[in-house]
């Protein structure tokens, strides 16, 4: 935490001082340029990778929406949420219901997916606003406890109301195949990656602009000192609700994208563990930094894959291998979370920026 | 009317366990201003120890004792090896570390025992005795009441009548002054963690046989219910935790009896939300001045 606090005044300074030489481009333009660069990169990479890697990258993009939203809430506004897995479930289930409703009416064209995604985000915004209004009145362990309850209870609701959500089995999500214009041999996974990357990049551009805006500064002010923020004319509760709603919208988009990728939703995928995973991802990546959220999202997808190849190195009985495979990533996640929190509270991105600062201090290059 | 009586008694028995678990949360909160989100996972770990010991020796009571011992040890280890190293300046940090512990403990349990429900034994029958044609309490319910009552009384005795209890209260109330007076503040904190974790293990031993069985996630919903109970009574108040626990137990029993067991999670969430919005300090909290 101390690392993020130390970094905050600099960031605020940089945001306010857009007239500084070398930073004359407006923030929006800069963010759009970066996003365009990343989009181009993804486009190129998607032709190089095989289908499975494309799918994994698409999953990273889906998680990135949720982790970016969570890092804005927890890192910038100082509110801990353990309920983002449940918010992702809200987005995913809404998307599934809307897509199924469209499919029943024969609206199977790919363009309707955009409508479904928007509806999914809107539904999550409503849920996020309800939780956020309650959350704005709570602090520390109370907030954590309430959001933990949300994370435990919401997946259970799918079983309670199994007429709508079809219980443990979940729902299938009909998704249109890649447009015919791309050729009949176009891999479906590459198309999935394009869809996920497009949605995630637009989400990230919006978040990055928000972080650099008046609202972002208000978030940080509220995080650092609520009384001082109030004295400065910031409406603390409203700011916290806005942060929660924005964060919920991102999580809802992430969940909806996951549903599109998996083409199904089931409560098992959105349990308490997912919420803890998201928190772990943003903490390990570095709280309050969008780049840290990207590290975390990559880790969420890469670590299970790594442990899978690791367990394959040993010859184990099938039962033992199955136990190990499901649980080893969790154990590593948990242990990493504890170690990072104790040893390097700034996370990966904190270490990186400390490293670059140290390097720059030794060899000053051009920029002062 | 019979049904109401049955549900009330069943709710009280369930509530006694929530009360014990909430008491464990309150103990750590009073000692170190930390809500131990890993309490459920730690308690389940102790229950798994009991399962192994019972399977090896065939004696329920040896397993019961082993669970309590494992709970005490685990609490002390968690405090010394993890919590003491955490930077407590931001209240987020201990919460996040506790959640890391949850992931770690549940994963290790899953690796060793598998993610299936294992059957949990009870020392006494769970069929209700009938008094005058009305089903009332089972012998197991009586055992639950007796155990929770004895533990509660023992805690009260330790904290109010013994020197070590006085030291623990002093260490929590004014750490610096206590240190000047020669109290081993860190040791008292560790002892508090051990006691709380032991009580948590006891609650897990009592509640798991009444639910689906032993599972790494068996205490997730119990934790949320007990947290609700602790908040209902006020996190600072041990009597509040007991009253809150009994209240939550009664409510959940009525909900599952009259509206259906599926609604229990929703009822817990609704209750927690209501309490936090109406009286975030709990029913027994004195009105505090706002800290600036």
Q: Tens of pLDDT along A209-218?
A: 998 899 999 9
State the virtual CA torsion across A188, A189, A191, A195 in degrees, nearest 10.
130
The pLDDT of residue A12: 45
CA dist list (Å): B291 to A143, A221, A227, A229, B288: 18, 18, 10, 15, 8
How many angstroms separate the CA atoms of A85 and A116, rounded? 19
Q: What is the ipTM of this complex?
A: 0.83
Residue A246 resides in a domain: yes
The pLDDT of residue A5: 44
Q: Residues of B with CB below 8 A from A150's CB?
A: 269
Residue A280 resides in a domain: no
Q: What is the CATH number of the domain that holds B180?
A: 1.10.3470.10
pLDDT in tens, B163-188: 998 998 888 888 889 999 998 988 99
Binary contact (B269, A273; C-beta < 8 A): no
- In angstroms, the separation between the Cα of residue A21 and the nearest Cα of chain B is 36
Residue A190 resides in a domain: yes
The pLDDT of residue A327: 85
Binary contact (B263, A160; C-beta < 8 A): yes
Residue B287 resides in a domain: no
Residue A313 resides in a domain: no
Binary contact (B111, A327; C-beta < 8 A): yes
Q: Residues of A with CB below 8 A from B269's CB?
A: 149-150, 153
How many angstroms separate the CA atoms of B270 and A153, rounded? 10
B134, β-bridge pairs? B131
Chain A: residue whose CA lies nearest to B219: A152
Number of domains in chain A: 1
Residue A359 resides in a domain: no
Terminal alpha carbon distance of chain B:
52
The pLDDT of residue A2: 42
- In angstroms, the separation between the Cα of residue A303 and the nearest Cα of chain B is 14
| CB neighbour burial string for B234-255, b if at least 16 within 10 angstroms, e if fewer | bbbbbebbbbbbbbbbbbbbbb
Specify the 3-state DSSP secondary structure of B134.
strand
Q: Which of A181-190, A288-297, A324-333 has the lowest mean pLDDT?
A: A181-190
Chain B: residue whose CA lies nearest to A274: B103
Cβ atoms of residues B285 and B279 within 8 Å: yes
DSSP states along A89-138: HHHHHHHHHHHHHHHHTT---TTHHHHHHHHHHHHHHHHHHHHHHHHTT-
Q: Residue B193's closest CA among B84, B64, B45?
A: B84
B154: contact with A, CB 8 A cutoff: no
Cβ atoms of residues A193 and A46 within 8 Å: yes
- How does residue A145 score in pLDDT terms, banded at 50, 70 and 90? confident
Q: Residue B229's closest CA among B5, B9, B29?
A: B29
Q: Residues of B with CB below 8 A from A80's CB?
A: 92, 95-96
Q: How many CB pairs under 8 A join A and B?
A: 150
B115: contact with A, CB 8 A cutoff: yes
Cβ atoms of residues B15 and B248 within 8 Å: yes
B275: contact with A, CB 8 A cutoff: no
Q: Residues of A with CB below 8 A from B271's CB?
A: none
Tokens of B282: 């709990």
Residue A16 resides in a domain: yes
How many angstroms separate the CA atoms of A16 and A213, rounded? 9
Residue of A348 and A6 predicted with greater confidence: A348
- Which one of A300, A338, A339 makes the best mutation probe of the B interface by having the most chain B beta carbons within 10 Å? A338
Interior angle at CA B276, CA B279 and CA B16, nearest 5? 90
Q: Angle, nearest 10°, between helix axes A51-71 and A27-48?
A: 150
- How does residue B12 score in pLDDT terms, banded at 50, 70 and 90? very high
Binary contact (A80, B92; C-beta < 8 A): yes
Residue B292: pLDDT over 80: no
The pLDDT of residue A325: 77
Of B29, B35, B103, Cβ closest to residue A334: B103
Domain carrying residue A261:
2-270
Q: What is the DSSP letter of A72?
A: I
Q: Residue B28's closest CA among B15, B42, B45?
A: B42
Q: Residues of A with CB below 8 A from B92's CB?
A: 1, 74, 78, 80, 140
Residue A91: pLDDT over 90: yes
Residue B69 resides in a domain: yes
Residue A9: pLDDT over 60: no
Binary contact (B280, A142; C-beta < 8 A): yes
How many angstroms separate the CA atoms of B102 and B97, rounded? 9
Number of domains in chain B: 1
Cβ atoms of residues A56 and A261 within 8 Å: no
Supply the mean pLDDT for chain A.
84
Average pLDDT, integer, range A309-336: 80
Q: Which of A124-128, A176-180, B39-43, B56-60 has the lowest mean pLDDT?
A: A176-180
Residue A194 resides in a domain: yes
- In angstroms, the separation between the Cα of residue A72 and the nearest Cα of chain B is 15
Binary contact (B107, A328; C-beta < 8 A): yes
Residue B25: pLDDT over 60: yes
Of B37, B103, B280, Cβ closest to residue A333: B103
Of B37, B269, B280, Cβ closest to residue A153: B269
Q: Which of A77-86, A89-98, B119-128 has the lowest mean pLDDT?
A: B119-128
Chain B: residue whose CA lies nearest to A319: B114
- In angstroms, the separation between the Cα of residue B186 and the nearest Cα of chain A is 18
Q: Residues of B with CB below 8 A from A285's CB?
A: none
CA dist list (Å): B13 to A213, B3, B93: 54, 15, 35
CA dist list (Å): A268 to A128, A167, A274, A341, B264: 21, 10, 9, 28, 19
Burial class (CB within 10 angstroms; exposed 0-12, middle 13-18, buried 19+) of B151: buried
Residue B207 resides in a domain: yes
Binary contact (A2, B87; C-beta < 8 A): yes
B residues 50..69 contacting A (CB < 8 A) = none
Q: Residues of B with CB below 8 A from A323's CB?
A: 110-111, 114-115
Q: Residues of B with CB below 8 A from A272's CB?
A: 217, 220
- In angstroms, the separation between the Cα of residue B14 and the nearest Cα of chain A is 19
- How does residue B62 score in pLDDT terms, banded at 50, 70 and 90? very high
Q: Residue A207's closest CA among A249, A239, A259?
A: A249
Domain carrying residue B235:
2-126+138-278
Residue of B60 and A366 predicted with greater confidence: B60
The pLDDT of residue B275: 86
Binary contact (A140, B235; C-beta < 8 A): no
Residue B288 resides in a domain: no
How many angstroms separate the CA atoms of A321 and A298, rounded? 24
pLDDT in tens, B250-283: 999 999 888 887 888 889 988 988 888 887 777 7
Q: What percent of chain B has pLDDT over 90?
A: 43
Residue A181 resides in a domain: yes
B107: contact with A, CB 8 A cutoff: yes
Chain B: residue whose CA lies nearest to A279: B96
Q: Which of A40-49, A143-152, A323-332, B282-291 has the lowest mean pLDDT?
A: B282-291
Residue of A366 and A104 predicted with greater confidence: A104
Q: Residues of A with CB below 8 A from B262's CB?
A: 159-160
Q: What is the DSSP letter of B131?
A: E
Q: Residues of B with CB below 8 A from A338's CB?
A: 82, 97, 100-101, 104
B residues 167..186 contacting A (CB < 8 A) = none
Binary contact (B104, A144; C-beta < 8 A): no
Ramachandran quadrant class, A364 (left: phi over 0; alpha: psi -120 to 50; beta: rest) = beta
Residue A221: pLDDT over 70: yes
B211: contact with A, CB 8 A cutoff: no
């Amino acid at each position: 935490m101390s690392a993020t606090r130390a970094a905050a005044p600099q960031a605020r300074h940089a945001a306010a001082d857009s007239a500084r030489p070398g930073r004359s481009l407006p923030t929006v333009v800069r963010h759009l340029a970066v996003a365009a660069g990343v989009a181009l990169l993804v486009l190129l990479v998607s032709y190089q990778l095989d289908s499975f890697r494309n799918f994994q990258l698409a999953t990273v993009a889906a998680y990135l929406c949720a982790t970016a939203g969570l890092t804005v809430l927890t890192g910038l506004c100082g509110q801990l949420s353990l309920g983002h897995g449940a918010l992702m479930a809200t987005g995913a289930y809404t998307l599934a219901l809307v897509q199924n409703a469209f499919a029943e009416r024969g609206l199977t064209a790919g363009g309707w997916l955009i409508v479904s995604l928007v509806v999914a985000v809107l539904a999550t915004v409503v849920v996020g606003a309800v939780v956020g209004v309650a959350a704005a009145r709570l602090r520390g362990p109370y907030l954590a406890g309430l959001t933990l309850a949300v994370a435990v209870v919401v997946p259970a609701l799918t079983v309670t109301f199994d007429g709508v959500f079809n219980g443990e089995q979940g729902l299938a999500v009909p998704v249109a195949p890649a447009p015919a214009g791309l050729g009949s041999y176009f891999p479906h996974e590459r198309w999935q990656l394009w869809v996920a990357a497009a949605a995630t990049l637009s989400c990230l551009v919006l978040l990055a602009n928000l972080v650099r805006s008046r609202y972002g500064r208000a978030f940080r002010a509220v995080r650092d000192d609520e009384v001082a923020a109030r004295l400065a004319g910031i409406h603390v509760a409203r700011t916290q609700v806005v942060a929660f709603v924005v964060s919920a919208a991102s999580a809802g988009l992430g969940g909806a994208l996951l549903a599109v990728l998996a083409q199904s939703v089931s409560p098992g995928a959105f349990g308490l563990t997912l919420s803890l995973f998201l928190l772990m991802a943003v903490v390990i990546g570095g709280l309050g930094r969008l780049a840290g959220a990207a590290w975390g999202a990559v880790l969420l997808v890469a670590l299970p894959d790594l442990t899978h190849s690791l367990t394959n190195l040993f010859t184990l009985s099938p039962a033992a291998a199955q136990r190990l495979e499901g649980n080893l990533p969790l154990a590593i996640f948990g242990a990493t979370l504890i170690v990072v929190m104790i040893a390097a509270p700034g996370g990966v991105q904190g270490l990186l920026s400390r490293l670059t600062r140290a390097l720059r201090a030794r060899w000053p290059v051009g920029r002062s | 009317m019979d049904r109401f009586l049955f549900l009330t008694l069943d709710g009280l028995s369930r509530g006694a366990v929530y009360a014990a678990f909430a008491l464990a949360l309150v103990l750590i909160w009073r000692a170190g201003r930390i809500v131990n989100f890993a309490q459920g996972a730690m308690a389940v770990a102790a229950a798994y120890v009991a399962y192994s010991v019972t399977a090896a020796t065939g004696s329920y009571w040896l397993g019961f004792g082993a669970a309590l011992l494992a709970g005490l040890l685990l609490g002390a280890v968690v405090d010394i090896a993890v919590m003491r190293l955490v930077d407590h300046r931001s209240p987020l940090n201990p919460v996040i570390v506790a959640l890391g512990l949850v992931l770690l403990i549940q994963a290790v349990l899953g690796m060793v025992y598998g993610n299936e429900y294992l059957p949990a034994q009870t020392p006494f029958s769970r069929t209700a005795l009938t008094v005058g044609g009305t089903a009332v309490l089972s012998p197991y319910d009586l055992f639950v009441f007796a155990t929770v009552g004895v533990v509660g009384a023992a805690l009260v005795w330790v904290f109010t009548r013994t020197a070590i209890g006085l030291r623990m209260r002093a260490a929590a109330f004014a750490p610096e002054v206590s240190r000047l007076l020669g109290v081993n503040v860190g040791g008292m904190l560790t002892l508090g963690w051990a006691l709380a974790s032991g009580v948590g293990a006891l609650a897990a031993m009592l509640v798991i046989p009444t639910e689906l069985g032993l599972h790494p996630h068996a205490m997730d919903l119990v934790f949320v219910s007990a947290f609700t109970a602790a908040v209902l009574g006020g996190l600072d108040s041990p009597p509040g935790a007991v009253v809150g626990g009994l209240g939550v137990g009664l409510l959940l029993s009525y909900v599952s009896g009259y509206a259906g067991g599926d609604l229990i999670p929703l009822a817990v969430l609704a209750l927690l939300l209501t309490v936090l919005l109406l009286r975030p300090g709990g029913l027994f909290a004195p009105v505090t001045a706002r800290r600036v």
